Structure 1
Amino acid sequence: MLAALALAQFICSFAGSNMNVMINDISEDLDTTVQGVQVAITAFLLVMAALMIPGGRLTDRYGRKRCFLTGLIVYAIGALLSAAAPGLGVLILGNSILEGIGTALLIPPVYILTTLLYPDVTSRARAFGVVMALGGIGAAAGPLIGGLITTAISWRAAFVFQALVTAVIVLLSRRIDDPLPPDPTRSFDTVGAVLSAVGLVLVVMGILATDDNVWLMIALLVLGVLVLGWFFRSARAKEASGREPLLSLSLFRNRASNLGLVTQNIQWLVLMGTSFTVAAYLQVVRGYDAIQTGVVFTAATSGLLASSLSAERLARRYAQRTLIMSGFVVSIAGIVTLIILARAYSTAWAFVPGLVLIGLGLGVMLTPSVNVVQSSFPEEQQGEISGLSRSVSNLGSSFGTAIAGTILVAGLSKGAYAAAMITLAAIGLIGLTAAALLPRASRTS
């Protein structure tokens, strides 16, 4: 069961990062630009973030296993459509839309089932350690695997690979038993789902519009904030009248969970922002091909794998707060190292120390951040908090790609690489501050 859940997290994280090394190949084959490929990558992450909360709520109504399998099938269809895409529009439909929808359906059940099937904190830390390790490896090793497939066959084969892995997950998931029965009588807040999705889309589109038109950026951001405000006001009104909103506002009354969500958002922002920035810089400025770029990223994969698989042992010895703070410190040190060594040396080895540190830091804190949030709520709220948690994390991935991509597109040859990395380090400091504000608790609380 854990193999199916962990592989599902792997393939969805892989989808978010493997295209970073295909930027040149896709843009040339589909006669588009680097910015066009960036839009496709960001749109995939954004669709996931926008639909993750509704996806989490659907698990209560239709069951976790049914949503999981449905998401896998939709994802596989999107991957095959992407593999056959004749142009950027079809690629966006397959990869950004269908794979994004599939991910939003299948990822909340991964976290709900892991939480319910492993009730004590130590076993849950071990299970989440495996899930987050595979997720982190998918994001960090995506460039290498994607680069190998692209170089040996074609970038289209990378999407066929995703469909094949999805088929394996469907076979493995036959062993999964849903610990909670579905409740078909549960209502679904359609208006709330639309408002939350539209608000998040407008905010990320505002960030993407920064390089094109400042006034458009401001208009989209303001409009996005207003729509999200409307969403929360609607949820408050539904709760006051005794109806069930898409997202219960009581979820935001838990201080530890709120701070944990902030750390999750920034962790994935740093991971995906760094991945996109370094991959684009190596290909566009240094002239590396897909496989060379992927090999460089094995440094991050190695660091992340080593620390993620130690999650159970670390959870026994250290408080969650300590692990999350340590992870941010190491990750920020890795970003600083990337900036300094990339400026001083032209060799690919200059990127290895920084990527190793970022991988180690992220691997240390990904699991405790998830554990802090999921463990803060009882079983009946796992659907809601899992959807919210994954939405926040994927929104961080969207922000990371959008922010880094916007800075890079402004001028890769004019110090944009350093500017993007410095921005990511500054955001990492915000995450460190949020981690420091987490309640001091025992190792197993």
Structure 2
Amino acid sequence: MTTAARRRGMLISAFSATFIALLDLTIVAVALPAMQTDLHTTITGSQWIVDAFSICLAACMLSGGSLGDRYGRKRWFLIGIAIFLAGSLLCAMASTLTVLIAGRAVQGIAAALLVPGALSIIGQSEPDPARRARLLGYWGVCASAAVLAGPIVGGFLVDGLGWPAIFLVNLPIGAAAILLGTRTISESADPEHASLDPAGQVLAIVTLAVLTYAIIETRTNGWGSPITITSLALAAASGVAFAAVEWRQDKPMLPVRLFADMRFATVTAASVLLGFGANGAFTLLSLYFQQAQGRTALATGLLLVPMTITIMPASALAGRLTAKHGPRLPMLAGYAATGAGLLGLAAAGDGHSFLLTGALFVLTGAGQGLAIAPAVAAVLELVPRQRSGIASATVNTARQAGSALGIAVLGTILAQRLADTDGRTFRALYGTGMRDVMLVAGAAVLAGALLLTLKATRRPRSRRPGDANQDHLRPTH
């Protein structure tokens, strides 16, 4: 095999694995009503179907790349694809909600290996910075295409073949990625620069999972029940233990000392709020279009296209604006547009035209495109190059964690509205619940914009000399 052929095979393998991993973030949204019907579950079950993936992806993302760096990037990338395919097959064969949730968790863990693994393999394959930047740009296009294709492909598959097909479609793509990757990817590792943090990893999963459980299950348990109070207390204790473990690590999974810089802390907190509002609302909109308005899965996927397709050109614009003006301007514009779009959907009500809905979806999608990439650029300005990977991963993880919490909180708001029995029709109750969801989602994103507006610019407090290994920050000029 020629060098050029090996290079093409490596890229196709990395892009294909990325595509199926990120496709499953959005493709499942249009299938949720069919899953609810077949598995005899409710909105609570739908929340767990989405959050099982999101929690594992968010909690494992920071350490997913470390396994490859330490024990072999090719090895763990291919292992990640195999695990993802096993999870997909488990999901497709699921006859109960419990099995489906377990399969989604397996998929999320595997995706946490695939996404950083693909980026690392691409980065290692090209020593020239300019050519490497172009390859990473192509990777970004592939990632955006996966998000865009999810609702449309999902709609076709659910209406034509049933919801298990959205998981079976991963199998041939993933198998081809393994075959190509085995032949074309060169093995590499840097064990001296990578460390594992098993205690931190376990505590991260426990914290996020227990907190999500406490929120989602309030529909059954109630906010004042011993189960809810105990769960919240356990999540808080686990979170404190996680911070303490990470504080003592020389090479932590989460660089907690970077949060001493208010600029880093603010961008990360804003990323949580963006994921909370935008991604949480996206999932529930799919349920609303099908369950309240009676649309098919394909029609729902097409309705969501204006939101997803606008992200790509907005991301390109964000790159140009960041290069010219810095990351703060496009971030503020993006958060403001996303929040305004979500609030507009709340104000529009149930009887509005699709023209208005489409315009608000375009505004929301454009806002997300403007906000996401500059957030990474913002934190990269604050850390030295050797800390760039962990800093950017922290921001992406924060957004995924926000998504998991958003689906939990916003889904609970909707479920509580639907539980009301005041004589109104189901559609009216659904419409009221979605109005509340959009109000909370929009307010959360605008709170992120406010944080970015008011973020501190002072120097971080001085730290002990020994802290330099963990979180050395560039000084404010």
Counterpart of 2:421? none
Counterpart of 2:235? 224
The 3 A distance-change label for structure 1 pair 303 and 247 is: closer
Deviations 1:199-232 (A, max 9, x none): 1211222221233310343432232121111122
The 3 A distance-change label for structure 1 pair 350 and 58 is: same
Counterpart of 1:341? 348
Residue 108 of structure 1 aligns to which amino acid in structure 2? P
Q: Distance in 2 between matches of 1:119 and 1:430?
A: 41
The Cα of 1:288 is off from its aligned counterpart by 1.1
- 1:268 matched to 2:279? The reply is no
Number of residue pairs the alignment of both structures matches: 434
The Cα of 1:14 is off from its aligned counterpart by 2.2
SS at 1:86 equivalent: coil
Counterpart of 1:322? 329
The 3 A distance-change label for structure 1 pair 9 and 185 is: closer
The Cα of 1:360 is off from its aligned counterpart by 0.9
The 3 A distance-change label for structure 1 pair 133 and 226 is: farther
Structure with the bigger RCO (C-alpha within 8 Å, sep 6+) is 1
- 1:40 matched to 2:49? The reply is yes
Counterpart of 1:19? 28
- 1:67 matched to 2:84? The reply is no
Q: Distance in 2 between matches of 1:31 and 1:355?
A: 31
Q: Distance in 2 between matches of 1:400 and 1:140?
A: 20
The Cα of 1:300 is off from its aligned counterpart by 0.8
2:306/2:362 contact within 8 Å kept:
yes
Residue 450 of structure 2 aligns to which amino acid in structure 1? T
Counterpart among 417, 426, 444 of residue 443 in structure 2: 426
2:310/2:369 contact within 8 Å kept:
yes
Q: Distance in 2 between matches of 1:399 and 1:329?
A: 21
- 1:154 matched to 2:162? The reply is yes
The Cα of 1:351 is off from its aligned counterpart by 2.1
Residue 36 of structure 2 aligns to which amino acid in structure 1? S
Question: In the TM superposition, what are the counterparts of 1:91-170 in structure 2 within 5 Å?
Answer: 91-94=100-103, 96-112=104-120, 130-170=138-178
Q: Distance in 2 between matches of 1:421 and 1:14?
A: 24
Deviations 1:261-300 (A, max 9, x none): 2233233323321211211111111111111111101111
Counterpart of 1:357? 363
The 3 A distance-change label for structure 1 pair 151 and 122 is: same
Counterpart of 1:285? 292
Q: Distance in 2 between matches of 1:126 and 1:356?
A: 27
The Cα of 1:314 is off from its aligned counterpart by 3.4
The Cα of 1:8 is off from its aligned counterpart by 4.1
- 1:331 matched to 2:338? The reply is yes
Instruction: Extract unaligned runs of 5+ from structure 1.
Output: none
1:82/1:159 contact within 8 Å kept:
yes
Q: Distance in 2 between matches of 1:283 and 1:89?
A: 23
Counterpart of 1:90? 99
Residue 51 of structure 1 aligns to which amino acid in structure 2? C
2:277/2:406 contact within 8 Å kept:
yes
SS at 1:214 equivalent: coil
The 3 A distance-change label for structure 1 pair 221 and 187 is: same
Counterpart of 2:461? none
Counterpart of 1:410? 416
1:141/1:297 contact within 8 Å kept:
no
Segment of structure 1 superposing worse, 380-389 or 367-376: 380-389
The 3 A distance-change label for structure 1 pair 112 and 307 is: same
Counterpart of 1:393? 399
How large is the RMSD of aligned CA atoms in angstroms? 3.1
Instruction: Extract unaligned runs of 5+ from structure 2.
Output: 1-9, 419-427, 459-476
Q: Distance in 1 between matches of 2:106 and 2:189?
A: 27
Residue 314 of structure 1 aligns to which amino acid in structure 2? L
1:321/1:439 contact within 8 Å kept:
no
Segment of structure 1 superposing worse, 33-42 or 336-345: 336-345
Deviations 1:65-122 (A, max 9, x none): 433222122111111221122222221222x221011012122334556677789998
The Cα of 1:365 is off from its aligned counterpart by 1.8
- 1:80 matched to 2:89? The reply is yes
2:318/2:330 contact within 8 Å kept:
no
SS at 2:164 equivalent: helix
Larger Rg: 2
- 1:51 matched to 2:60? The reply is yes
Deviations 1:151-172 (A, max 9, x none): 1222111111123333344456
The 3 A distance-change label for structure 1 pair 224 and 382 is: same
SS at 1:411 equivalent: helix
Q: Distance in 1 between matches of 2:13 and 2:381?
A: 22
Residue 70 of structure 2 aligns to which amino acid in structure 1? R
Segment of structure 1 superposing worse, 191-200 or 167-176: 167-176
Residue 324 of structure 1 aligns to which amino acid in structure 2? M
Counterpart among 228, 241, 244 of residue 233 in structure 1: 244
